[in-house]
Chains A and B, each alone.
Chain A
């Protein structure tokens, strides 16, 4: 009987630990359209995503559909997401699009580009209060990227090529 209990608890834990579901649960809202789900966060609910300590390396990229250099480098983040196992690397694309553009711009973009990495929306207009909490080095321009694992974290306010991105990832992995 107790063995069964342990088994059930383990299964529950396992299900809960599946990153996608966990993160979606913490969002302040979820926007669904055309089969795409975009979880929406304010900074308070988003902040824990910058501090997950589970041995995985996370690449957090701040972007928006209107930001040309961001869109140009997205394929490299997608490639990293495809090439590295989910158990080692997770790519999270944090869109800073305006919420009223989710349906008209963000979701069509995600569908058209067939983006497989997790896409979430950060909707917190008081940017001066949260930009320094992401990184003291950040002036607020995008693209901007954080690569972190546990307490090791690096911040980049710049664009990447695939090789540059992979090189930085390997420093943290």
Chain B
């Protein structure tokens, strides 16, 4: 009888702790990075079948990490501007690193094979990586595509300096009069504070 009581008690404690662990992990993935946090590195497969990590870029001063994908009209609307960002800032030490966070089971358009097709069609000048298993985007806290993280390389690691949209007009690049990512990188190159650190934008929910 006594053993039964102990067993029930034990089961109860296990049940509660399992619930508690679940709670903690949920709130962690929900949150993601804030400005000033250190961003994780990764090793993800590029459309040219090579593996890419931030650590490979020994000369870089930082990175423009963009969670984007094939199927989302907002991402598509920004493709030319993402290429432009890479052309503008790669020579200055801030290359674009694009990551597709979607599970191809949810969006077949976002499969690795289709990523290759799209990268070729558009002539992507930057790596377009597949977040296999959907493990990296939750750590960053990306919720949608496109979702940008500008990182500055420091001795301690890659520090998050900007989170949000590319600019303030998804429909028309020429009508955008606030170029958040450009302004952020320009400021970092000059050693200044990023003028607008967080912006919000409509995007396609990431599906794991």
B205 touches A131 (CB 8 A): no
Which A123-172 residues have a C-beta within 8 angstroms of B? 125-129, 131-132, 138-143, 157
Q: Is B73 located at the chain interface by the 8 A CB criterion?
A: yes
B207 touches A142 (CB 8 A): no
Which B159-207 residues have a C-beta within 8 angstroms of A? 164-165, 168-172, 175, 178, 180, 199-207
Q: On chain B, which size bracket covers the interface?
A: 20 to 34
Which B102-141 residues have a C-beta within 8 angstroms of A? 106-107
Q: List chain A residues, Cβ under 8 A from B171.
A: 98-99, 125
B205 touches A127 (CB 8 A): no
Q: Is B87 located at the chain interface by the 8 A CB criterion?
A: no
Flag the segment in A8-16, A22-30, A66-74 that touches B: A66-74
Of the listed residues B72, B106, B171, the one surrounded by the most CB atoms of chain A closer than 10 A to its CB is B171
Of the listed residues B72, B144, B200, B204, the one surrounded by the most CB atoms of chain A closer than 10 A to its CB is B200
Q: Output the least CB separation between B132 and chain A (Å).
A: 21
Residue of B nearest to A134 (CB): B200
A138 to B144, CA, bound (A): 12
A96 to B168, CA, bound (A): 15
Contact A139-B143, Cβ < 8 Å, known A68-B207, A131-B201: yes
Contact A140-B73, Cβ < 8 Å, known A68-B106, A69-B205: no
Q: Give which listed residue, B107, B200, B204, contacts A128 with CB less than 8 A.
A: B200
Binding site of B, secondary structure by majority: helix, strand, loop or mixed? loop
Contact A127-B73, Cβ < 8 Å, known A141-B143, A141-B144, A142-B205: no
Contact A69-B207, Cβ < 8 Å, known A125-B168, A125-B169, A128-B164: yes
Extra contacts besides A125-B172, A127-B165, A139-B200 (11): CB < 8 Å: A67-B205, A125-B171, A128-B178, A131-B201, A138-B200, A139-B143, A140-B143, A141-B144, A141-B204, A141-B206, A143-B205
* Chain A to chain B contacts (Cβ below 8 Å), 30 pairs: A66-B72, A67-B205, A68-B106, A68-B107, A68-B207, A98-B171, A101-B73, A125-B168, A125-B170, A125-B172, A126-B168, A126-B169, A127-B165, A127-B168, A127-B170, A127-B200, A127-B201, A127-B202, A128-B168, A128-B178, A128-B180, A128-B200, A128-B201, A138-B200, A139-B143, A141-B144, A141-B204, A141-B205, A141-B206, A142-B204
Interface residues of B (CB under 8 A from A): 71-73, 77, 106-107, 143-144, 164-165, 168-172, 175, 178, 180, 199-207
